[in-house]
Every structure is written in C-alpha cells, then in structure tokens.
Structure 1
Amino acid sequence: MSPSTSRSAGQPAATAPPNLHHLLKYRRWDAGIPPPLRPLVRAYIIGYLSSVLPKIPALIGQLLLKQAKQSSPTPNGTPQHPRKAALLLDSLRRILLEPLHWQRFPTFCAALVGGSTLLELPLRRLLDRLAGNLSTVLRTRLSRWISSFIAAWFSLQILQAKTSPRFVDIKPVKSDLPPGVTSRTVRYAGRTLDLTLFAATQALDVAVGELWSRFQNRRRAAGIPKTFVETAVSRLVDPAMFAVSSGLVMWTWFYAPNRLPRSYNKWITSAAAVDSRLIEALRRCHYGELRYGENTGQAPLLQGMCADYNLPLAWGDPAVSIPFPCDIVHMGLGPSCERHLASRFVRSFKWSMATYLPLNLLLVARKPNGRALVRALLSATRSSTFLGTFIALFYYGVCLARSRIGPRVLGTHTSSRQAIDSGICVATGCFLCGWSILIEGAGRRKDMALFVAPRALATMLPRQYALDKQWRETLVFAFSTAVVFTCFAENKKRVRGMLGSVLGTVLKP
C-alpha cells in the first residue's frame, strides 16, 4: 500500500488518523485472510509451531553428539564418514512434515478454535428464533458455550482416531472362536488424557477464580475489610496448588514411574541425578521386599553402593544395619545432611543454569541490549535457584525424616525405622520440595501451578482404559473447554496462565 492510496482524494495527509502511519508501516500478516477465518489459521500455525519448535534443539543436540562420536578415528586409524547431511534432512523432514497430517495437533487446534468461532453466529441466530424470551446476554452465552462444546467434542476425536502402538495390544483369542484365528488386536483409550486433564484443570481454575472474585466483591460492596485469611488465601493458593501437585508427581516418580509420561519421567530422573540403587532400595522398603532385621536377600543392592563410595559393606546389609546410614543417601559426601543439602543445591543450580540460560539468551537475541541481557541473567538465575532448591529440599526432607525428626517422633525401634524408610521419608521430601515455588515471582507461580496440576491428576488415573469408556473423557474435555472459551469471551483475565495468553493471540480481532 502506498501513501497516495491511503487517504481519500483531496484529503491532506495532516488530517489522517493518528494510528494510520503505524498501519502503513506494519501491515498485519493475516490482513489478507477473511476475519472469520483468522482464528482458525492462527490456531493452526500456533499448533504447528508448538509441535515443531521444541524438537529442533533436541535434533541439533543429537546431531552434534553423533558428529563428535563419528568424527573420531576408527581402530585402523581412518576417520569415519557419517552421512550427516542425509541424517539431518531426514530427521528435519520428519519433524516438519509429521504435524501436517490431519490427525495431528495443528489440525486439532484449528478445528477447536475455528469450529467454536464459526458456529457461534449460526447458533446465536437459531437461539434468537427458538428462545427469543431469553435475555440477549443469556442467548449469547449459550451460543458461545454450545459452539465451543461441539467444536471441542469433534476436534478431540481427530486426535483420538489416530492409532498409537502404545495403546494397542495383541491378545490371544479363546478356543471357541473360528479355527486359525489365534490373536486379536485390542485398542485402548487414554492417548488424549493429558490434554483432557489440562482442559479440566483450566476450567476448574476459572470456576474457582470466578466464585472467589464474586465473594470478595460482595464483601467489598458491604464495606467489610479484607481479612488476613483472605489475603493469605489469595497469595498462597498458587504455591499450595504447585506444592501439592509436585508432591504427587514426585511420589509417583519414586514409587510408580510408569504412571508418568516417559519424557516427563526421563526429565525428572536427569534432574534428580541420584544413584538408581538408592531409589530401588527405598522402593523395596515400601513394597515390603527389604525388611530391617531380616535376611531377605537384599544386601547386595546397597552393598554395591557401599563398595563404590568406599563405605563399610556392613552398612548395606539391612539385617545388620538398622537403618542403613544417611551416608549412603549422601552418596559419598559424608555423614552431614546439611552438607549434602548444600552440595545438592550447587549441583542442581549448575545443571539448571545450563538449561535456562541458553533459552533466556535466545530470547534476548531478538532485540539485544544491555537491559535485556541483565533481565535474562536474573531470570535464569531465579529459575535455577528455584529448581536447585526444589531438588535440595526433596533430599533434605528424606534426611529429616530418617535422621533428624523421624527418630525423635516415632522412636528408634526396628518397626519405626521400617515405617520411616517405607514411605515417610519420601513423603516428607515430597511435601517440602514444592514450596520452593515461593522463590519464583507471582506470574511464574501461576503458570507452573497450572502446568503441574494436570500431571498430578494424571498420576491418579490409568494411562490406558477401555475404548468404550472414551466418550466420558471426550465429554469432560468438551464441557471444560466450553467453560474456558465462554469465560474468556466475557473476561479475558479470568483465564490465567499460558492458555490465556494463547487464546488472546488466537482470538484477537
């Protein structure tokens, strides 16, 4: 668009609207798309980018690692010649093309958002004809809710229709079936459970937040001053939700890791940096395989740790050492639980900085300046301090229950020691670690609480269930999504966290 075409004939440039110059310089990328279709297109693009971008750094890391291994000379002294370009193109092609399949996440996002916006106007006209006695506000809300419900119901089925090897089982058939048929394929539901729980958590957060806001507004209108309890609830609800949720996740990671998504389980294991034999020993205590004062054949497990960390072998024998000392928990750092706490924090802080700092610096690279660099460093430091404290408090909670507080409260006899190591020590660590969220700012607490809560709910539900029960999950997702979308249309600030930001971008005029 040229300046000559931006104003009416004979109209001087000085009378142009104040924001016209901005519009002339920065034409929106989706200006050529019809307004009713813009939310659909934006949703598809955001869904595609969210499917692709997280995989690119992992691909680069894997390629660099392979390059470092393959560039070393072979035993005969000749260098290897990996097909790096072919590997890169093949992996990159798969990452870029797989999300374009119609049963993938981008199509789901487009169907969800596009369906809810495109159906709203026809449904509103239909309600105007069929329920004209209802108020205009109520008809508008109903049309939004119903359109979002329908779009959510059918869009989730797009993802559910795609088969996954993890949710398919081959079972032998009974003898009364036709001869020659020895097995049958059984499909299970649960592939979209995390998405459904995310929607349910957001809907519950919206409902509770709205009820709390109305309660406070009524008290304010009545002239009742805000009490200390109300202030505490407002400030602690997000930290408490994160602490409870992360505690459930850590308990599951310790005793039932198969109930967590594999990527999430792998990340926690990497961050924890603990000897797997120690976790296995506490698991066997929990399930009754390792019992103090009895020879149940479990001594080799911890004695192997004792040999590796130069500790007396007798400490690893549960029939003799009741309980095994915290020196084993500290993995060679000595008997001091406080020294182990400090060491854990330092190691975890370094590990976290290696993760957070590059990500923050990448954001600075878009508009590099000194102030942005300082903010990036402070943000990475704060997040690393939080994660370092989270991990350190978990381990210190285990030590507090085993050596500091537990024996004073429950006693030192064998049954008490067995009870402590059977779950009390891990439960103490799970309770303490999540309160490290108080280190983060209020905005981050909110985002992280809403991120972890669905994962905590997932630990209490089966990862797979019968396919004929899948309609229940679809109903929960559709109902929850309709609540969130309807509330967002009336009060955008009520939908908190990352979802609120995404909806604001997708549904903007």
Structure 2
Amino acid sequence: MPYRLPRSYNKWIMTLANIDPRILAALRSLRSGGWSYKRRHSAQPDLLSSLSRDLGYPAVWGDVTRLPAHGGPQATATWKELGVKGRNGIGGIPCELVHANASGGSCSKNVVLRGSQAFASALAIYLPVHFLPILLTRPQYLLRPSNLLHTLLAVLRSASFLSTFVSTIWAAVCLTRTLLLARLFPRISHDVWDGPFGCTFAGSLVCGGSIWIEQGRRRGEIALYMLPRAIRACLPERWVRSGAKGVQWGERLAFVLSLATILTAAVHRPDSLRGLSRWALAFIMKGPNAGFWKRKRRGESVPPTPIEKAPGAETLPKPYVLRRR
C-alpha cells in the first residue's frame, strides 16, 4: 500500500527499486484477487503480456491463462511448450518478466545487477549527506588526508548498506518463488508464492538486516527517519485524511514532544546531536554567541583575545613562599 507513504518518499523508493509498474500492478491484483493463477483470471488480461512484448519475449509468457499455477511435471511440460527455460518443476511468472532487465532469467545476475545499480545511486545520495555538513561547518577537517579518507569510507559504507538492502530483497524474492521454496513445495500455488505473504514478504523480512552494515550512530538516525513513516503507514488512511480534531491534536502533540526532546538534548546533551541539527540548534539556543557561529564570524585564524593586566602588575614583587628543607 504505497499510497500510505509520503509521495516523495514513495517516489524515491520506486526509483531505487527500478521495478516495472506492470509487475507492481500484478502483485497488487494478486493481493486484491484480481489476478489468480489457480482461477486463470486477470482483471487486466494484457497487463503482463504487454510487458513480455516490450522485453522482446512472446506475449504468451504473460498470459495468466497459460501460466502454470503449481509446480511438478505438468508445469515442466507447459514451460517446454511455451519455450521458457530454467523453470522446470515450478509455476508462476517467468523470471525474465519479473527481473525485466539485462539479466534475463538468471536470478544471480539479477541480484548482482540490482545491487550494482543501487550502489551507484546510493553514492549520489550519500556523498552530499556526508560531505555537505562538514563543508558548511568545518571545511578545514577535510584538509587532512586521514579525515578525508575516513569520510570517504563512511560514504562507501552507507552506499554498501543501501546496495545490500536492495540486493537482499531480490535474493529473497528469487529464493522464495524460483530457487528454493517453490521447488521444495511444488503443490503450493503461486498465488501464495507471489502473493502478499510470499516472496515480497520474505524480501521485506530479510532486507532489514542490512542496517547492521552502517555505523551505530547512523543506525539510530536511520531508525528515527523511518519510524514516523512506519507509524504513518499503520494508521487508518480515512482517519488521517479526515482532518478530525483528534488528528490535529495528535499532530500537535507529536510536534511539541519532538521539539521539546530535541531542544532538551541541545541544552543538556549536545553531544547526542550531530551535523547541521547540532549547529542549527546551537544558534537557536545561544544565538550568535554559539561557539561555531562565533568562530565562523571571526575566522579560524583570529588569535584569542588578549587578557589585559593591571598597571604595574609586572613590577610587583612575587610573594615569598616558605619551602621546607
């Protein structure tokens, strides 16, 4: 139910996942009952047939009335008749249509290709995330090669996290519907393996483990970024969009508590904040006299303010101190 997520967030996920919208429409139809292997029914008969044609495969590969619902010898005979290779003993949509890329029917190639594409996209995302706060607050930090290398390694680590997140989803999907579970239990219909509690559910369970690639502090930030969206997705859509007083007061209460927590941390535990949030809150709480903004205004090369001495302080005799022998 992507409509429960913010539009910008949903668009970012769809871009990173790079899934053909017709595959998503078929999965949603499976969930709603508009698509069924067992009943050989589809509310949109040309949904995957058009995808198959666009990819250069026979249109019949996407025809639900011809696709086997279960595995076994009958499925093997059907695939031989349709000219599909690599799916002997299992049913469902051919991997060539699910992958919808240059990997063809190879699940391992698809995982590697998806992971590589996600890694390249993640670099474009995390380079400014890691470097921009440093460039805005303490650019001299990057002048030391060791600090620059440390920041670059952090970027690669974050990109690896996102790449692993995407590739593990696809690995779990292929293991569920093609490589492992569907072969172990051929009598179970692909209405289950391709349904909401099948391959997509397995991918959602597995991909979360990629968070352990990130550093501990980054894991906390990602959790705080994801938590509000997860809560929003669990709330009833009608109630959220109704604009009732309960919704308004809930939003206000959440905002007040969140802002109070952040401001309290800025005063009593500033070390728990980092990046732009730390410096912005320091300016809000202390104004131009905040350490960073004061140094920024004066410049790093400005020497410390000299301490004025009282007149004649240097000519005064030093006090006599009695020392024991």
Shorter-normalised TM-score: what interval?
0.5 to 0.7
Match of 1:326 among 60, 81, 95: 95
> Deviations for 1:384-404, whole angstroms, at most 9, x for unmatched residues?
111111111122222122113
TM-score (norm 2): 0.67
C-alpha deviations, 1:165-223, integer Å up to 9, x for none?
xxxxxxxxxxxxxxxxxxxxxxxxxxxxxxxxxxxxxxxxxxxxxxxxxxxxxxxxxxx
Shift of 1:346: 0.7
Find the partner of 2:19 among 274, 282, 294: 274
State the partner residue of 2:79.
none
* Unmatched 5+ stretches in structure 2: 69-91, 291-325
**What count of residue pairs does the alignment treat as equivalent?**
252
**Does the 8 Å contact 1:446/1:496 carry over to 2?**
no
Structure 1 residue 398 corresponds to structure 2 residue 173? yes
Can you list the C-alpha shifts for 1:258-310, whole angstroms capped at 9, x where unaligned? 21111111111111112111111111111111111414353411111211222
CA-CA distance at 1:499 after TM superposition = 10
Q: How far apart in 1 are the matches of 2:215 and 2:125?
A: 19
Q: State which of 297, 307, 326 in structure 1 corresponds to 2:53.
A: 307
Summarize the Cα distance change of 1:479–1:361 in structure 2 as closer, same or farther, 3 Å threshold: closer
- Unaligned stretches of 5+ residues in structure 1: 1-255
Contact 2:127 2:155 in 1 (8 A): yes
Return closer, same or farther for 1:401/1:498 CA change in 2, 3 Å cut-off: farther
- Counterpart residue number, 1:335: 105
User: How many percent identity over aligned positions?
Assistant: 30
- The one-letter code sitting in structure 2 at the alignment partner of 1:419 is V
In structure 2, the CA distance between the partners of 1:280 and 1:474, relative to structure 1 (3 Å rule), is closer
Matched, 1:347 2:93: no
Kept after mapping to 2: 8 A contact 1:364/1:373: no
How far apart are 1:358 and its partner, in Å? 4.7
Matches within 5 A, 1:107-126: none
Per the TM alignment, residue 334 of structure 1 is displaced from its structure 2 partner at its CA by 2.3
- Equivalent AA in structure 1 for residue 28 of structure 2: R
Answer yes or no: is 1:386 the counterpart of 2:161: yes
Query: 1:75-127 CA deviation, whole Å, 9 max, x = no partner?
Result: xxxxxxxxxxxxxxxxxxxxxxxxxxxxxxxxxxxxxxxxxxxxxxxxxxxxx
* Amino acid aligned to 1:469: G
* AA of the residue aligned to 2:93: F
Contact 1:303 / 1:313 at 8 angstroms: preserved in 2? yes
Q: TM-score, normalised by structure 1?
A: 0.45
Deviation at 1:467, TM superposition (A): 2.9
Q: Which amino acid aligns with 1:356?
A: Y
Q: Which residue of 2 aligns with 1:193?
A: none
The aligned runs of 1:65-80 (5 Å cut-off) are none
How far the C-alpha of 1:474 sits from its partner, in A, is 5.0
- Deviation, 1:486, is 8.8
Matches within 5 A, 1:149-228: none
Structure 1 stretches (4+) deviating beyond 6 angstroms?
Answer: 493-500
Deviations 1:356-388 (A, max 9, x none): 235545456533423343233222211111111
Distance 1:331 1:444 in 2: 33
2:146 is matched with 371
**In structure 2, C-alpha distance between the alignment counterparts of 1:486 and 1:362, rounded to whole Å:** 23
